[in-house]
A and B are shown apart, each in its own frame.
Chain A
Amino acid sequence: QVQLQESGPGLVKPSETLSLTCTVSGGSVSSGSYYWSWIRQPPGKGLEWIGYIYYSGSTNYNPSLKSRVTISVDTSKNQFSLKLSSVTAADTAVYYCARESVDIWGRDYMDVWGKGTTVTVSS
């Protein structure tokens, strides 16, 4: 079955850019049935959707983060990536990649998640 795995630095300095990659196994990012998303969870807090990318490269970002976020896809490596610029301590969180599926009736849901990776913003 499809599995997702996040990777990237666990420590980022303030004002720098956070970069994470999600590797998809057991499936393809080029499938037209899915959107590939990033979600984060600050320590002890709830979940925040960051954005998604479609295999074609079209994106949709959370307006609260839009000015700092870039999500890209590399179909040759079966990966998609997140860049978050100008980070502060408030960006410290567990970052998850997830697959958003849409069924034939147009109902969507996030059915596959990576295990998550902890990113700490600190000097």
Chain B
Amino acid sequence: DIQLTQSPSFLSASVGDRVTITCRASQGISSYLAWYQQKPGKAPKLLIYAASTLQSGVPSRFSGSGSGTEFTLTISSLQPEDFATYYCQQLNSYPPTFGQGTKVEIK
């Protein structure tokens, strides 16, 4: 299975901050990477797919980049509703696997 390692695992930030989360794959996955946001007690919500394509309805402050083994999710200006856990997922090969998550909390 392809392993995904997110960093950091925990992030404390303030409203308005620029936030970057990294996801590294154990082997090349081209651009077959998605990012999800999960709030407590809720299902994950798709933010970005194919590494950099913004899902319809997702605010433009979210962006993704990368290919191969290193990817980033950036929130350009953190909003109160963005405090959540973020997961990356690879869909290059089965089984699809997820990173361990990055929890973004209020500073």
Contact = CB atoms under 8 A, between A and B. Distances in A.
* A and B from one complex: yes
B95 interface: yes
A115 B43 contact: yes
B19 interface: no
Contact of B43 (A64, A96, A103, A108): A96
Nearest to B50: A107
A26 interface: no
Interface residues of B, number: 25
Q: Is the interface of B mostly helix, strand, loop or mixed?
A: loop
A49 B34 CA distance: 14
- Interface size for chain A: under 10, 10 to 19, 20 to 34, or 35 or more residues? 20 to 34
A34 B91 CA distance: 14
B9 to A, nearest CB: 11
A20 to B, nearest CB: 14
Interface of B: 1, 31-32, 34, 36, 42-46, 49-50, 53, 55, 87, 89, 91, 94-101
Interface of A: 46-49, 60, 62-64, 96, 98, 100, 103, 105, 107-111, 113-116
